[in-house]
């Protein structure tokens, strides 16, 4: 379980990116974090694993308070939080396998990682994950040879091999085409279900947010302005989050049957 | 303002009239300085010698032909020395340059004071020409290949470290961030996030500097630091012009070969 209490972040320029965010995410819940650019979505998830240092407030992962941890304890805590990035953030010149295994760096020593001597168990898990996302045959390719969707799958494997309790997902589909976006979102969703993972997914696409989350949180200027069910998003709520616009075309009743059907064609791309 | 409203509609100019005048004035001053400097050089030149120059050049040229090919048997050893000076010097430089570069790059330096020291090392290495390093080192180590090798090494540290730390500063930070997010230590972040990104830059710099060092090491002999330059200065001093032309040919072909090798290697890396 993740709990944020009065989380604030002020950047050097003096602007508050987050102005006191309280949020509680139970185990296994997938939430979508929506909001306009500059609302503080990225800052929020980066404050959780302290890639960005929060200015004020507390972050609890289970019973562990993260904001005051020493750097070595923080590293241990980071192993429990997998992160997935917008531009995939794979190390381009390393192979797919090396990228996946880099998710285990928190568990292996410096020299072992230098000579790529990862434990057998990790390597087997890496192959299992690559097989799960349909990239077994790409294991020895260099990351820069992959397409966008494939790269994001490798990014997902890297996060999952950490065996995390929580996924922090920053705009996973922003660089992908609509079809691949759906596939990636569905994959993240399925994997969270399989493993009982909680996830915070930053996402621009309101429709995707509705389709693939159990709960939607709307952020505006560093404050939570909506927190509720995906189907609770109506024109009034969206206007509150994003500002005035014709929202009718964006909101769609999500058909449960269609979701299930989609899952079948999954592994092909 | 560049945008001027007229009855016929707005007119856009690149610069305002005032800016235009300032620019003309700066050009005027620059040309005046060049003309003045030209006059200074002209006054201090003995024009008789300059008029004589083509004849002198033709004379030396004639004495250089044909190159003394039999002299080649005595040149193999100095050429080998020259190559060794350049190669070993480059290796020494790279070994020192890597830690200096990581200390000098904004995103990897452990502390601003360390960064200042690293920058100082880079600047002091770059500010002294390898010929001058050699001149001093010949006094310290005595004449020979060792002085030349260290001179080349010291001169190259700054060059390699500067290019490398600029390469380190230009890496994609999100790749490092992703590694950091897994709970990796600083050292591991360097290993997985930074090193793969700068490796091609590093190899490119190494080969490029080796190429430059081949050329620089050919003249180090002039101050007694070993290599083919030693033969060159000996031949010039004894007015053995056919030997000089032979040496120049050898230097030319060495440089061409090194150019070719470095182009091949760089092509293979990138």
Does one domain contain both B185 and B91? yes
- CA–CA separation, A30 and A11 (whole Å): 28
Enumerate residues 6+ apart whose C-beta is below 8 A from B107.
B168, B169, B171, B173, B176
Q: Domain of B125: which CATH number?
A: 1.10.3720.10
Does one domain contain both B105 and B27? no
Give me the average pLDDT of each 10-residue run along chain B (270 residues). Answer: 73 82 95 94 84 86 81 83 91 94 90 93 89 87 86 92 93 92 91 91 89 87 81 85 88 88 80
User: Is residue B46 domain-resident?
Assistant: no
Does one domain contain both B144 and B239? yes
| CB within 8 Å: B184 and A75 | yes
Is pLDDT larger for residue A82 or for residue A248?
A: A82
Q: Is the dihedral of CA A138, A144, A150, A153 positive or negative?
A: positive
B181, B197, B200 member nearest A78 (Cβ): B181
Average pLDDT of span A246-261:
58
| CB within 8 Å: A113 and B188 | yes
User: Is residue B63 domain-resident?
Assistant: no
- Put simply, whether B173 touches A (Cβ < 8 Å) is no
- A244 phi and psi, to 5 degrees? -65, 130
Does one domain contain both B149 and B236? yes
Domain count of chain B?
A: 2
- Put simply, whether A175 touches B (Cβ < 8 Å) is no
Q: Is the pLDDT of residue A257 over 60?
A: no
User: Which residues in chain A have Cβ-Cβ distances shorter than 8 Å to B181?
Assistant: 49, 51, 78, 81-83, 168
Mean pLDDT of chain A: 87
| CB within 8 Å: B192 and A49 | no
Does one domain contain both B167 and B220? yes
User: Is residue B67 domain-resident?
Assistant: no
Does one domain contain both B177 and B128? yes
pLDDT in tens, A161-174: 999 999 999 998 88
Alpha-carbon gap: B194 to the closest alpha carbon of chain A (Å): 9
User: Is residue B61 domain-resident?
Assistant: no
Q: Judge if pTM exceeds 0.80.
A: no
Does one domain contain both B5 and B96? no
A93, A105, A110 member nearest B182 (Cβ): A105
Enumerate residues 6+ apart whose C-beta is below 8 A from A4.
A21, A22, A23, A24, A44, A48, A57, A58, A59, A60
Average pLDDT of span A140-161:
91
Residue A104: predicted pLDDT? 93
Domain containing residue B98:
78-269
Does one domain contain both B5 and B93? no
Residue A265: predicted pLDDT? 46
pLDDT bucket at A260, cuts 50 / 70 / 90: very low
State ipTM.
0.86
Q: Is the pLDDT of residue A57 over 50?
A: yes
pLDDT bucket at A87, cuts 50 / 70 / 90: confident
User: Is residue B50 domain-resident?
Assistant: no
| CB within 8 Å: B196 and A93 | yes
- Put simply, whether A43 touches B (Cβ < 8 Å) is no
A1-26+38-78+205-269: in CATH 1.20.120.330 = no
| CB within 8 Å: B184 and A76 | no
A51, A90, A93 member nearest B180 (Cβ): A51
Does one domain contain both B239 and B105? yes
Domain boundaries, chain A: 1-26+38-78+205-269
């Amino acid at each position: 379980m993740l709990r944020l209490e009065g989380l604030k972040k002020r950047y050097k320029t003096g602007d508050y990116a987050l102005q006191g965010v309280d949020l509680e995410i139970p185990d296994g819940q997938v939430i979508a974090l929506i909001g306009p650019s500059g609302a503080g979505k990225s800052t929020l998830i980066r404050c959780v694993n302290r890639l960005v240092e929060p200015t004020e407030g507390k972050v609890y992962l289970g019973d562990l308070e993260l904001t005051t941890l020493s750097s070595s304890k923080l590293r241990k805590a980071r192993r429990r939080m997998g992160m997935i990035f917008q531009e995939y953030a794979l190390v381009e010149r390393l192979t797919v396998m090396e990228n996946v295994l880099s998710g285990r760096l928190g568990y292996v020593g410096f020299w072992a990682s230098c000579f790529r001597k990862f434990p057998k168990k990790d390597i087997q898990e890496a192959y299992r994950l690559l097989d799960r996302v349909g990239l077994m045959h790409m294991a020895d390719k260099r990351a820069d040879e992959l397409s966008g969707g494939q790269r994001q799958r490798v990014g997902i494997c890297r996060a999952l091999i950490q065996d995390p309790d929580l996924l922090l997902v920053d705009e996973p589909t922003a660089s992908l085409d609509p079809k691949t976006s759906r596939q990636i979102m569905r994959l993240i969703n399925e994997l969270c279900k399989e493993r009982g993972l909680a996830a915070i997914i930053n996402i621009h696409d309101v429709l995707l947010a509705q389709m693939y989350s159990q709960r939607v949180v709307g952020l505006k200027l560093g404050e939570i302005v909506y927190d509720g069910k995906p189907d609770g998003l109506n024109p009034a709520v969206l206007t509150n989050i994003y500002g005035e616009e014709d929202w009718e075309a964006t909101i769609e009743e999500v058909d449960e049957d269609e979701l299930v059907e989609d899952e079948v064609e999954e592994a092909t791309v | 303002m560049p945008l001027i409203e007229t009855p016929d509609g707005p007119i856009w100019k690149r610069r305002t009239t005032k800016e235009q005048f300032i620019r003309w004035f700066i050009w005027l001053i620059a040309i005046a300085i060049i003309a003045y400097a030209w006059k200074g050089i002209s006054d201090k030149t003995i024009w008789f010698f300059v008029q004589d120059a083509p004849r002198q050049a033709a004379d030396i040229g004639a004495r250089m032909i044909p190159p003394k090919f039999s002299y080649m048997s005595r040149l193999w050893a100095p050429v080998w020395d020259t190559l060794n000076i350049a190669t070993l010097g480059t290796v020494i430089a790279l070994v020192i340059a890597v830690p200096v570069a990581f200390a000098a790059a904004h995103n990897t330096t452990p502390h601003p004071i360390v960064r200042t020291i690293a920058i100082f090392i880079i600047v002091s290495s770059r500010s002294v020409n390898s010929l001058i390093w050699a001149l001093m080192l010949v006094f310290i180590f005595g004449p020979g290949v060792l002085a030349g090798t260290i001179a080349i090494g010291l001169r190259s540290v700054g060059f390699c470290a500067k290019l490398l730390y600029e390469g380190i500063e230009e890496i994609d930070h999100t790749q490092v961030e992703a590694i950091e997010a897994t709970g990796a230590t600083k050292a591991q972040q360097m290993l997985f996030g930074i090193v793969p990104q700068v490796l091609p830059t590093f190899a490119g710099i190494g080969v490029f500097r080796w190429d430059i060092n081949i050329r620089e090491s050919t003249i180090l002999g002039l101050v007694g630091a070993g290599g083919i330059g030693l033969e060159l200065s000996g031949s010039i001093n004894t007015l053995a012009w056919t030997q000089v032309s032979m040496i120049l040919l050898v230097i030319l072909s060495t440089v061409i070969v090194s150019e070719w090798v470095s182009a091949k290697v760089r092509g293979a890396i990138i």
